[in-house]
Structure 1
């Protein structure tokens, strides 16, 4: 296990592994805390784990639909509300669920102590609505565990250096849970959700999708960043950096889920892991700009200032003899709306011939370690979609994924076609993953 440092040294001290009980972090999403009966259920799950001889930390999201309800109230007042105030509003959802969960544990005969983001604290940067964790203080959790309590931590929220409330973006409770697990050197971080693991494709779109028993950090990072909604991308980044064993499982069943592990523990049993689909994508093309890498650097600097993540970035000369080039990239439609004015101003400043925007797209991606050894996979993907009348408007290939842009209306069909083409429904692992030292 690597040193437990996230951004800066952690307070509270680290207890030597030989002198402590196993420590389990359990994260429960919005559907798991959607009502009192479900909160009682997760209280029993947490207590059962503690009574089995483990220290337990529970991280909870807001109750299902609550964050959307709160943000809708803000948008009734202003079409573009101040992001700082949005975070103040949104963070209240977790304040309710964390207290209810602590009370439910107490009602079941246990001891629990709730902690909000500023009470740990979870220190973040200043990027309101999508802040990044810099430091997790472990002292308050350690003290609660030492008292025999289950520590119940509010997910999704933190505090910046000026004591402003911040939130971590959609799915941010996953990131809170993994960051806490990394800080505490937890034996495992269990992510409880409304699905029972990671599938080769979304089973709601592709009924033949198959649950994976294990997947590597690298592949999970690709799947999460490309549209698989099981885990937030930054939670996987932290898990991989600090080697946190993650177990994705269902809140409503006792079945084993999917373990996210280092690649060597998965034994590279599958050539291809799965398909992800990210809808709501837009493509931006800057046509006729000066052919210089400096232009790309200026563009990426601008996007970083706007806190916009882009993909499928391409800079290509218009023709071999031309002094001009085209730059194109993809980004979520929501990010396009808030950055379009800045992009238009940037286009004018560059003296580009045209700024062209296309929306209503979806990015379909095939992920797996087998891509590095089979360059023909991209050709087979394109040929299959073209044969079924699905136009591919962009393609990116690297050692772990092939991504293509298709019309959003054709995305589901594309996923099903490619899932069948590459045999993902029947490509069972050659052997089970190596057992981890982490408790189940």
Structure 2
């Protein structure tokens, strides 16, 4: 399926918690002195790509020189917005033309998930540093391929899991690792998205003027244009993404796994469906419970759309449930709820910084320092959690308890292995990294 060997996987997986740089480059990281400006470009600028670029431009060492989008309406709008700030950029329709521009040092990839693998591997091969949005890939094989590309080209690759740069998340994990909670037997992570309502069914139609829909589809199944599948709502269709399991799961499962110093589960089972909106246009489940079995503890994921009332009165979060107390962590802060009188409570420790601002700063700093070990969310971190999130979706799709064969990097069940690789269409294929 890919040139990424089991030996390389073990080597990369071992760095998830250690944060060490990986050897084996084909070309050196581009030389940018401490006083140089970093020329940044963005591919996919309608949503998080624009948010990431806006955060990056708050740092004086970054300057935007190019934008790329297959929707000319979005592209023209963003070019005009930058122009009002005195920033003149080149506009590209084809990301490959952008990558051939040798003046560009770093690229932001903010396209739909099904494009991430192709664009990141091409960017690494072109010698660019890469800030790629999460989840990094739309299948396990894509994640492995992206890890292999980073290793081959020794590229600076930061994944947009910006919570990795927030102090209160780090402080919470330090508390978990201190052992004060006692034995942790259960970890819960959840996303209850009350803002997400039903997506009404709409008829297929011609693509809007200025939209290169064929290129937008890329390796996905060829279908008529439908407004529901385009821009933000692509997240709820299997062709392009993995629903809330991968969209929010990679943020929250990341810290659940990090807190437990866990790699991959022994088994996974999932149950759910379209319970809230059975007849709407979305494909991915609006309600899902996934249980990951590890040695000594279980990790439970829950998501529900149209509901805000999640566990502990929070619409999202991670709870480390120990014999002495429970630590509850979310984007706003963390607290410890004691189990009886077995430990002291810790009042809510509030968020104190801007995660996206700090995360983009970390990326720029590493481009200049060339020390990959300083990245807060390197590709190995992104791949680790994205693979675990994909496992949850695969358990749901197979409707059975599945078991991970860590020695061979695959499932014990053939039905689950059918979902290891995304199916590419329209002449595209998953890159082979050797």
- TM-score range (shorter-chain normalised) is under 0.3
Instruction: Tell which has more relative contact order, 1 or 2 (C-alpha 8 A, sep 6+).
Output: 2
TM-score normalised by structure 1 residue count: 0.27
TM-score normalised by structure 2 residue count: 0.28
Q: Which has the higher Rg, Structure 1 or Structure 2?
A: 1
